């Protein structure tokens, strides 16, 4: 069973004011700069408890604005916490998909792929590593990163991701991000080869790609594409990971 935590999705609207109000509420709750995993995974045996807890706080839409101490009864029932990512790529068609890793000079002879290789990866932002590590340590709940592509998904434990960086097997890269208002920023990210991840699932029904946009108060339009619908069959490897936990 899955449940949203405090990083529940932002408002699904083209109204910039709705986004502003959302973040104003976060700031008022003292949670504007708090980083928390996106999902909690529970045993089905806890469904009744989870449903009643969420109802008691006013519904799922209130979760982003609840402080961590008040969420502890819910968090401590979780098997894992999940940081969710997605990419607008068909994984199996990416040029370096299914290529084996080979010794790389930039990695000191350790196994890897060329820097320009295009393949499925599980991504963690550098700015998220410390807060996620702190959250995991304080709550004693393991974090996994689940990265969904158009046709399949991969999972990686946060502890394994940290080890890969510490061992020099994964190096940071720079990526440009665009904000709803149009401004761009450069951030360091870690792109973990899917070879290090476990298969999370394969799409049994692919999602639709829906055009959408955000219009800011100055009339500037930022177009983007989002996933809608689709379904994923969990891989045996993913179920085994959850069973082991």
pLDDT in tens, 216-242: 777 888 888 888 889 999 999 999 999
Question: What is the value of pTM for the model shown?
Answer: 0.83
Of the ranges 58-67, 193-202, 211-220, the best mean pLDDT one: 193-202
With respect to residue 96, please indicate whether it lies within any of the assigned structural domains.
no
Among 235, 175, 231, residue whose Cα is nearest residue 199: 235
Please tell me which residue, 243 or 21, carries the higher pLDDT value. Answer: 243
Say how far apart CA 47 and CA 4 lie, in whole Å: 13
Q: Pairing mode, if any, of strands 102-103 and 78-86?
A: unpaired
Q: Pairing mode, if any, of strands 102-103 and 111-112?
A: antiparallel
Per-residue b or e along 98-111, where b marks 16 or more CB atoms closer than 10 Å to that residue's CB: eeebeebeebeeee
With respect to residue 179, please indicate whether it lies within any of the assigned structural domains.
no
Please tell me which residue, 59 or 14, carries the higher pLDDT value. Answer: 59
Domain of residue 139, residue span: 2-91+122-169+192-244
Number of domains the chain contains: 1
SS3 call for 163: helix
**Which one-letter DSSP state was computed for residue 11?**
P
With respect to residue 178, please indicate whether it lies within any of the assigned structural domains.
no
With respect to residue 66, please indicate whether it lies within any of the assigned structural domains.
yes
With respect to residue 101, please indicate whether it lies within any of the assigned structural domains.
no
With respect to residue 114, please indicate whether it lies within any of the assigned structural domains.
no
pLDDT above 90 (res 212): no
pLDDT above 80 (res 62): yes
With respect to residue 185, please indicate whether it lies within any of the assigned structural domains.
no
pLDDT in tens, 80-122: 999 999 998 999 999 999 999 999 999 999 999 999 999 999 9
**What tokens appear for 55 in the block?**
């109802």
With respect to residue 206, please indicate whether it lies within any of the assigned structural domains.
yes
């Amino acid at each position: 069973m899955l449940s949203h935590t405090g990083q529940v999705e932002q408002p699904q609207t083209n109204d910039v004011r709705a986004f502003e109000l959302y973040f104003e509420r976060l700031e008022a709750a003292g949670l504007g700069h708090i980083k928390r995993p996106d999902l909690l995974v529970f045993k089905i045996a806890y469904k009744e408890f989870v449903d009643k807890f969420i109802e008691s706080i006013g519904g799922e839409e209130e979760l982003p604005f609840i402080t961590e101490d008040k969420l502890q009864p819910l968090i401590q029932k979780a098997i894992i916490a999940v940081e969710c990512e997605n990419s607008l790529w068909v994984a199996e068609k990416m040029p370096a998909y299914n290529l084996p890793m080979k010794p790389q000079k930039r990695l000191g002879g350790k196994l890897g792929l060329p820097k320009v290789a295009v393949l499925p990866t599980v991504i963690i932002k550098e700015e998220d590593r410390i807060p996620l590590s702190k959250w995991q340590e304080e709550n004693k709940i393991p974090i996994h990163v689940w990265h969904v592509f158009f046709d399949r998904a991969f999972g990686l434990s946060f502890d394994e991701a940290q080890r890969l960086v510490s061992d020099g097997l994964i190096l940071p890269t720079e990526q440009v991000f665009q904000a709803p208002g149009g401004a761009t920023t450069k951030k360091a990210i870690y792109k973990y080869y899917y070879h290090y991840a476990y298969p999370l699932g394969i799409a049994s029904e692919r999602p639709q790609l829906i055009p959408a946009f955000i219009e800011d108060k100055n009339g500037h339009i930022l177009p983007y594409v989002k996933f809608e619908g689709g379904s994923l069959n969990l891989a045996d490897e993913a179920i085994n990971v959850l069973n082991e936990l």
